[in-house]
A and B are shown apart, each in its own frame.
Chain A
Amino acid sequence: MSVENLIDDFSFLDNWEDKYKYLIELGNQLPHFDDTQKIEQWKISGCQSQVWIIPHFSSSSLSFQGDSDAIIVRGIIAVVLEIFNDKSAQEILDIDVEEIFDKMGLREHITPNRRSGMLSMVDKIKFYARRSLEEKNEHS
């Protein structure tokens, strides 16, 4: 599954029921966190549901795991992870996530609304990318 495939799939679905069903399906493929992972350290603040994102750093790229207690939100997390996983820090920072969500017809879920919190999930991912880049620069 690539981001291009996701965009194709979502733009093919022309009503919200089908879009949401597909989101839920994608979310269902995410493994659920156990209680040791659902901790304050990984919690994204400012969400209407509980969202956790755990970063994993390797020498060349970053990847993330995510979970939520809301099932449509899990679907959104699945899409976000597909967009950002296994990319370099610089690639992550360069991604225009709003444009991608727009193409999927899901833009309203990623608009700057601090209460719905989807964007704070993206902000957090970009924060980890920035930190990883800074650390790399310090070592070089």
Chain B
Amino acid sequence: MSTKTLANGKTVETYPLTQAQRFMFFAWKQFSANTPFLFISSGYYWKDDFRADLLKEALEEAIARCDSLRIRYTLENVNGNPQVMQYVDDDAETPVEEVDLSDMPYEESYQVMKGWAKELQPVFDCPLNTIRLIRLADGLNGFFMKLNHLSFDGYASKAFIVDTMAIYLHKKCGTPYPKPMRSYYDAMMDEFKYLDSDQRKADRAYWMQHFSTMSEPIFNDYLIAGNRLKKAQKENPGQRAVSLYEGDHPETETLTYELSKEDSDLIMDLCKEKNLSVPCVLMLGLRTALSAFNENQEDVSFKFMINRRGSLLSKKAYGNRWHFYSLRTIIPADLTFEQAVAAVEDAQSEVFKHCNFDTLEMYQVKHIAMKQGAISNTGTMTYDTMTFSYHAPQEVPCESDEVRATCIGVWYPTDFSAQNLYLTIKHRANDNGFEFIFDYRTCENSLEDLKIFYPKIVEAIMTGVKNPQITMGEILDIIKL
């Protein structure tokens, strides 16, 4: 910890980035520099007898309850080297501006707001966040947020929406005022405590042992004609990892698919009935499709995002807590769908137990420990074909079922990504159905193959959901290319 004197003469304590922030910063600098990658933009809109005055008050109160909006970043000279530091500026304000886009069609207003998301902006010693009260066509109203990604991950961004709407409904309908949020400072201090803890030593030892004793994984491509491992194996038949980034082209496009409410409900109902994990069912579908694309390979790995929000402090203190880990499963054909979900959950739980150990350190340990010498960092050689994240539902308070049916939650992509292919699965705001969002780097991905990939994921999931005792071999026969 050190101190900094701000322009207004106030002295604040400054702290290094947490490990999760360091990874985000590294990914930006390494894979996506000079892009708006460090900002995350979203919007939430609905139709009701709209009270702009109350929403503005609600936003201002939610802003006051959110330390993360007052985090600032600065460069400090540490032993002659610039180091990124953070501090909470209690006086920092996030004004709520009102913007009326109701005179243009929804699609046009979407493009306007996407333009805001894509605007480059500075990161150090300056305001970082934009929150706007928005009026859209056809009676839709709500708010747009462009938040700094070092201070907010997807979970935190959604948590802000939940808090704002709870306050809005309290003001408009007299519902209970939401419980207090938690201190970002306390959550940050917890992260720093871990760095000197015995638990971190134990986690490091676990990963060292794990990587030094495991068999070599294998890359499973979602590209059909352009299968990168098969290409590499022509030169080197024993190769099992590939290099994904041959050039620095972070430009992406987004492909979004909506799963019907009926099919989404079938998945949720099965998980409830059989006490299964929803993300594990989804990840089983993903790894089964990857298997089908690679001659029914039983050994499949991809990266998955863990937002590490278990305690109430971590859930309610906003911030960015993302760590990325490889999820490797070896699932034989004779396992039933239900058994395979349990196998994915076992693999996931094993990672969860040691996931406070940060992503960058984990790459280093992997490099030291793996017999094959592969680094398994996406920037070099990797077995992890793509990245997956599941955004668990955080229920946004709503006035009535009629209003709920009109709610829209929107992400505004920046069209730049540090990841080659990133699948996010989240729940729609109006009916809780699943939305599959593929962010893909245009230079390295075949859109045609992705359009085959998605239906295979869904077919694998729904086949298993409708018959949990079916074997994985039978599912692979059904979804084969």
Q: Do the two chains bind?
A: no
B residues touching A (Cβ–Cβ < 8 Å)?
Answer: none
A residues touching B (Cβ–Cβ < 8 Å)?
Answer: none
